[in-house]
Amino acid sequence: MPANDNAILVLNSGSSSLKFGLFIPGANDEQLILEGSADNIGRDSGSLRIGDVSGKDLLRRDHILESQPEALTAIIDALHDFAHTAPIAVGHRVVHGGPHLREHQRITPAVISTLEASVHFAPLHIPQSLALIRQAQRALPNTPNFACFDTAFHRTLPEVAAHLPIPTRFRDVGVIRYGFHGLSCESVVARLNPIPQRVIIAHLGNGSSITAVLDGKSVDTSMGLTPTGGIPMSTRSGDLDPGVLIYLLRNEHLSADELEQLLNRQCGLFAFSNDESDMQVLLAREATNEPTAALAIDAFCTAIRKYIGAYAALLGGLDLLVFTGGIGQHSAPIRTRICSGLGFLGLDPGNPNKVLALPAQEELQIARHTRVLLGA
């Protein structure tokens, strides 16, 4: 591959993975030239893969990468070998920036300080983002870094959606509905031409959220202060009666850290099925008449169906339902089950005028924002 001096490196961090893409300017949009991921970071099954745009593997290496910063170092080293260049900018997906970081922007010392002061809004996500940013700055010391926030798309939420039903003094310190998967939603909206007036986006994966979009803008979304809220997910609880949390604190004597671990790692599909969070595995178990797998799938689809119905009422109707994310894009059985019973909205997974399944293009969206912010 010839050298390119105008490439942008995009980093998309997951709980145990680090996806990346290398983009150059194309005729009409950012053009992907290399992509890949470091998966199962910190586990014996860890791996690093780099591929070209045709899907051909250029590198596949099985070994333990102890952390995301270590994975990033391996990725940068591999990019030198295959792209023969260093990127002119690095764009980071940052899940949560707290109340003061709601716009995509260049990372400065002030931005890092604000992120450090906002860790309590997302203690599972912000420290990981900070570690990656610092490693990128060390590995590429003369390269600017940019933060693209998953909450930015939801800045348009009206007060009735953003303001939680708790005393105003908590809102004033940032306890509001932020919403997440914003980069995924942005990438969906960017592909709709023309943009229908009333759209619902179901981003379904390990983390899942539903977003109501009116005239291209987010007006409500299922996740709230954190990515734990909304529908039950792979291992996250989704919304709970607050009394459940009080019970767990008072009667089970859980600490705040233990409660956080429970809600994020031991709930959702994992809890319904007793031990499994992977949707493909659950579908296979359901086919053998395993009742807990059937319950997990039914609870997941029912919760999503409820949100779609509610958001259709909020929007005054529905022009298009878009499924995205790993489950949303790839699992036709789940799409069919969700749409079952929503015929009154005209939803049929086989009707492309009403229901679409699209890949989430978060990395492309980050590349677009980074290029604009860089002024390149």
pLDDT in tens, 188-226: 999 999 999 999 999 999 999 999 999 999 999 999 999
pLDDT at 357 over 60: yes
How far is 112 from 297, CA to CA, in rounded Å? 40
**318 within some domain:** yes
Q: Is 319 a catalytic residue?
A: no
Residues 251 and 334 both lie in one domain: yes
pLDDT at 239 over 90: yes
Residues 115 and 208 both lie in one domain: no
| β 47-52/145-149 pair status | unpaired
Mean pLDDT of 135-147: 96
Residue 104's closest CA among 53, 50, 150?
150
Residues 118 and 200 both lie in one domain: no
Q: Which residue, of 93, 121, 149, is where some domain finishes?
A: 149
Residues 218 and 129 both lie in one domain: no
**165 within some domain:** no
pLDDT band, very low/low/confident/very high, at 175 (cuts 50, 70, 90):
very high
**376 within some domain:** no
**349 within some domain:** yes
**174 within some domain:** no
**31 within some domain:** yes
182, 149 contact by CB (below 8 A): yes
Percent of the chain with pLDDT over 70: 99
Residues 30 and 142 both lie in one domain: yes
pLDDT at 376 over 80: no
Residues 221 and 325 both lie in one domain: yes
For residue 308, the domain's CATH number is 3.30.420.40
Residues 211 and 332 both lie in one domain: yes
Active-site residue, selected from the candidate residues 39, 52, 81, 150: 150
Predicted TM-score (pTM) of this structure: 0.95
Residues 204 and 339 both lie in one domain: yes
**375 within some domain:** no
Residues 124 and 217 both lie in one domain: no
**338 within some domain:** yes
At residue 83, the pLDDT reads 83
Residues 207 and 141 both lie in one domain: no
At residue 2, the pLDDT reads 52
pLDDT band, very low/low/confident/very high, at 42 (cuts 50, 70, 90):
confident
How far is 247 from 373, CA to CA, in rounded Å? 47
Instruction: Give the domain range for residue 70.
Output: 8-149
Residues 204 and 323 both lie in one domain: yes
Residues 124 and 201 both lie in one domain: no
Q: Give the number of domains in the chain.
A: 2
Tokens of 223: 């996740």
